[in-house]
Structure 1
Amino acid sequence: MSPAKRLRTRMAETGLVHIMAAHSPLSAILAEQAGFDGLWASGFELSALYGLADMSLISMTQHLDMLRAIAGRTTLPIVADIDTGYGNAINVIHAIDEYARAGASAVVIEDKSFPKVTSLVAGGRQELVRVEEFQGKIEAAIATRQDPDFIVIARTEALIAGLGEAEALHRAQAYAEAGADMILIHSKRKDPSEIVSFSRAWTGSVPLVIVPNAYPDLDAARVKELGNIRMMIYGNYGIRACATAMQEVFRQILADGGVQNVHKDILPVEEIFRLQKMHEVKEAEVRFLR
């Protein structure tokens, strides 16, 4: 069974899948060992890893390199964040081919103009393309995919752009009619009221995806009660956790003038060896080095 088929099967079996953002093979390994259903190949996290703003500064080649590296170290399905599709519908055709070959089981394409600005930044430029133009991108993605289980998720930023629920519903319906398998509805409100209201108003034929970064109180139990949300993506928690830990440890080392205190609070190097599968290397050395 392909990873894309496994992702669809998992959604059908559980009603809701949990997808953790990753920006490296190590973060993917940790997410898989934690028990997540899939990975979010995050543009935001990769941008942050490079110390850059999430506004289309990272190239498709850089993102694909990350995706290939992750796919080589995990068995989990990967949902790729491809922003606006790197251009128009012709660019989307190229992107779908490349991401499928790199190991993606799904892509998320958003209806912003290129270059995009990250959704949650205060005062960010949030410009959306015409509905018809974005329908063309979705149709191009559907026509290009070779595996019918490959999932094309259309993301509308209408709520992010302040255009209201009616516009969000209109766009979501249009994208579903263009062939999208799922609709990602995004909000930057600090409470889940916009998402809950949209979910209750949604009568479309395809299920919803959410990214509960701004409204963390909306947990899985409440999401399942809404009935039509099938995927939760935890979009930036991996990179934030890494940055939190490194800030604390780095400051402590300088404050203490050494590692005598932080040494006992971080993972032992043996745990890193385990994640690197060092035991397999040692076994190969015994077997093959002569």
Structure 2
Amino acid sequence: MTKSALKQLLHGDRLATAAGAHNPLTAALVEEAGFDVVWASGLEISASMGVPDANVLSVTECLSTAAAMAARVGIPVLADCDSGFGGITNVIHMVQDYEAAGIAGVCIEDKTFPKLNSFVAGPQQLVPIEDFAGKIAAAVASRRSADFVVVARIEAFIAGHGLEEALRRARAYELAGADALLVHSKLAVPDEVVAFCDHYTGDVPVVAVPTTYASTTMDELHAAGVSLAIYANQGLRSAIASTRETFAAILRHGCASAVESRLVPLSDVFGLQGTARMLEAEKRFEQVGRGVAAQVDADLAFDWAAAHAG
């Protein structure tokens, strides 16, 4: 699947879906489940390395993880790139590097650098509209192909501003060239997102992240005007819960048999690793090597015989 698939999904007739991942294995599970897009989640990648989601990791660390995901799956990878890892120059290099790595698009948010995760109680400060519009324009101008998607993430609601500010920023970012607008909210209901969609008169697709308003259905999001729904962290959170339960049960029972019935078999792990493909490839090319060696021996023997004939 080409990078253009992400842009096609954003402009499709149905709601496209993405799920968060933090390494190639979880990206493979996203694809296996049937999601359209892998979200290379900043929260998940940070958490997997045991650090806060606050730009502690470098762009190199985030890029290498997202690139490994893109190399593993056949569906587009949309990378969460926080506030662009710095200023305009950082954004330019970030876009060039991510596009070259085979990633389908990047999402950057209009908060200050370093950012703080949107759901953490703490300072959520926005940059001036003109500053972020400059970042979006730089990102769009720096890509080699128009198929590489630049998503502008609007944090107005997260920072305590109202609908008017969110719409002002949406208009500015669209004019700057954004391919899609992600409108973020931490309410337990989708009211802010729905209000944004109702009043937004622009032409670019809207993306939502139904983390806190988890009971809102995909059909409801699509009806509101959302083009892509990102389930950004549910995989990580479920993995933490099940791993805690498994480890506690092993210690409680004094053996691992108590948890075996709810674990996937090792054959499932080997399948996700591509072990069978590896072994088949080794066997096939070992046979090729033996054939080449035999042909060389036969050719040399013929040449020797011809040279000494008579």
- TM bucket (normalised to shorter chain) is over 0.9
Distance 2:51 2:2 in 1: 31
Distance 2:251 2:144 in 1: 53
Query: Which residue of structure 2 lines up, in the alignment, with residue 62 of structure 1?
Result: 61
Query: Which residue of structure 2 lines up, in the alignment, with residue 197 of structure 1?
Result: 195
Query: Which residue of structure 1 lines up, in the alignment, with residue 224 of structure 2?
Result: 226
Distance 2:67 2:204 in 1: 29
- Which is further off, 217-226 or 9-18? 9-18
Q: Which amino acid aligns with 2:135?
A: K
Q: Which amino acid aligns with 1:128?
A: L
Residue of 239, 263, 281 corresponding to 1:242:
239
SS at match of 2:182: strand
Aligned-residue Cα RMSD (Å) equals: 1.3
Q: How big is each residue's C-alpha offset from its partner over 1:16-46, in whole Å with a ceiling of 9 and x where there is no partner?
A: 2101111011101111111110110111001
Distance 1:91 1:285 in 2: 42
Q: Which amino acid aligns with 1:268?
A: P
Query: Which residue of structure 1 lines up, in the alignment, with residue 95 of structure 2?
Result: 96
Distance 1:231 1:287 in 2: 42
Query: Which residue of structure 2 lines up, in the alignment, with residue 53 of structure 1?
Result: 52
Distance 1:27 1:10 in 2: 21
2:39 is equivalent to residue 40 of structure 1? yes
SS at match of 1:3: coil
| Structure 2: unaligned runs, 5 residues or longer | 291-310
Paired residue total: 287
The alpha carbon displacement at 1:177 in A equals: 1.0
SS at match of 1:80: strand
Percent of aligned positions with the same letter in both sequences?
43
Pairs within 5 Å for 1:178-217? 178-217=176-215
2:271 is equivalent to residue 271 of structure 1? no
Distance 2:131 2:123 in 1: 19
Query: Which residue of structure 1 lines up, in the alignment, with residue 251 of structure 2?
Result: 254
Contact 1:112 1:126 in 2 (8 A): yes
Q: Which amino acid aligns with 2:258?
A: N
Contact 1:71 1:103 in 2 (8 A): yes
Query: Which residue of structure 2 lines up, in the alignment, with residue 172 of structure 1?
Result: 170
SS at match of 1:20: strand
2:132 is equivalent to residue 146 of structure 1? no
Query: Which residue of structure 1 lines up, in the alignment, with residue 115 of structure 2?
Result: 116
Answer with 1 or 2: which has the greater Rg: 2
Distance 1:7 1:43 in 2: 19
Q: Which amino acid aligns with 1:171?
A: R
Distance 1:222 1:206 in 2: 19
Structure 1 segments (4+ residues) deviating >6 Å: none
After superposition, the Cα gap between the structure-2 partners of 1:173 and 1:12, relative to the gap in structure 1 and judged at 3 Å, is closer
The alpha carbon displacement at 1:163 in A equals: 1.0
